[in-house]
Amino acid sequence: MKLINRTGAFGRAAARVGFKGFDGAPHLILFIITLISASVLVAVAAFLIFGSLQAFNVIGPVELLFGESWRPTSFFNQAFGMLPLMVGTFLVSFLASIIAIPIGLGCTIYLAEIAHPRIRAFLKPAIELLAGIPSVVYGLFAMLILQGWVAQVFGLQHGYVALNGGIILAVMMIPIMVSLAEDAISAVPRELREASYALGATRWETMRSVVLPAAMSGILAAIILSIMRAVGETMAVLMAFNQTPILTLDPFSGVQTMTATIAIEMGEAAVGGLHYSALFAVGVVLFVITLLMNTIANRIMSRYAEAYR
């Protein structure tokens, strides 16, 4: 039996309210701090849901979620259909993903399995550093430089299109993906690689048939978490292309993402009005999407941890 030392008022209070095994005041304080942090999640959810109730009531959930036009400020023709915004977010994130996933996985495999340790010791921190650059800096680059390249390569009048956002988001996704996926690959025990080499397998065969399958769930989680980054990004998206809520999957068109919608329109919406409430509803949808993706990533990761129990 462990002796439990309950001292001070907090300790006695903790003992009284039945926190068995709590070790006095420090434990109670830490518990309260943690509780406050966790309750922020509940507070944010409640804040969004209460704010959006009006929109869901007046507009109706089906029209609000799947309506095809978003015209919040039109005087004769006002419409609050979120579909263009969701498709906009999807389009930009999708473009970013198809660029970032192959490049990110390529970098990961190179760093984890091919690069000399000295090269790796230099390159991996360099790539991880990219994750720390403020998104407004990426936005600036997309707005001032990348845009021109996109216009030139694809023969457009200007490059403020969804593809421009997709490219800059891909650049932002890669460091997260590489960092997490490389950790997953490095966590594959050396003994498994040795077993494969000892059977006469080449490095490539070992990587393809032993290391990657063993690390697959960690790699998938890395991909999902980096997609979350793209879905949630606001500033770089805002600066990369014209925000126009058109329902389209054309990468050479301007679109409007959910995050950008909130950022742009919150300032001009009358507090307590329908538009204001509809923006909260956009927030609810974003919240649900990220929560879902996070849950999926966690599930996959825990399954992966189990594989090496």
Phi and psi at 252, nearest 5°, equal -100, 15
Question: Is residue 201 close enough to count as binding other proteins by CB under 8 A?
Answer: yes
- Least distance from other proteins to the Cβ atom of residue 212, Å: 12
Q: Which is nearer to other proteins, 61 or 189 (CB)?
A: 189
Distance CA 108, CA 92 (A): 23
Give strand pairing partners of 70: 80
Instruction: With CB under 8 A as the rule, give the number of residues binding other proteins.
Output: 23
Q: Which of residues 91-150 bind other proteins (CB under 8 A)?
A: 116-117
Question: Is residue 214 close enough to count as binding other proteins by CB under 8 A?
Answer: yes
Question: Is residue 202 close enough to count as binding other proteins by CB under 8 A?
Answer: yes
Q: Which is nearer to other proteins, 155 or 200 (CB)?
A: 200
Question: Is residue 196 close enough to count as binding other proteins by CB under 8 A?
Answer: yes
Distance CA 73, CA 86 (A): 19
Helix (H) or strand (E) segment spanning residue 80: strand 79-80
Give strand pairing partners of 255: 243
Selected range binding other proteins among 121-129, 208-216, 253-261, 269-277, rule: CB under 8 A = 208-216
Identified binder of other proteins from the candidate list 14, 185, 210, 255, rule CB under 8 A: 210
Q: Which of residues 235-264 bind other proteins (CB under 8 A)?
A: none
Selected range binding other proteins among 35-43, 153-161, 184-192, 256-264, rule: CB under 8 A = 184-192
Distance CA 164, CA 36 (A): 40
**CB 136, CB 236: distance < 8 Å:** yes
Distance CA 32, CA 21 (A): 16
Question: Is residue 302 close enough to count as binding other proteins by CB under 8 A?
Answer: no
Question: Is residue 213 close enough to count as binding other proteins by CB under 8 A?
Answer: yes
- Least distance from other proteins to the Cβ atom of residue 109, Å: 17
Distance CA 297, CA 286 (A): 17
Identified binder of other proteins from the candidate list 121, 195, 288, 305, rule CB under 8 A: 195
Question: Is residue 272 close enough to count as binding other proteins by CB under 8 A?
Answer: no
Phi and psi at 223, nearest 5°, equal -65, -45
Rg, Å, the chain Cα set: 24
The set of residues, in sequence order, having a beta carbon less than 8 Å from that of 83 and lying 6+ positions away, is 65, 66, 67, 68, 247
Identified binder of other proteins from the candidate list 1, 17, 42, 198, rule CB under 8 A: 198
Distance CA 111, CA 129 (A): 15
Selected range binding other proteins among 78-86, 196-204, 228-236, 295-303, rule: CB under 8 A = 196-204
Q: Which residues bind other proteins (CB under 8 A)?
A: 116-117, 189, 191-202, 205, 209-210, 213-214, 307-309
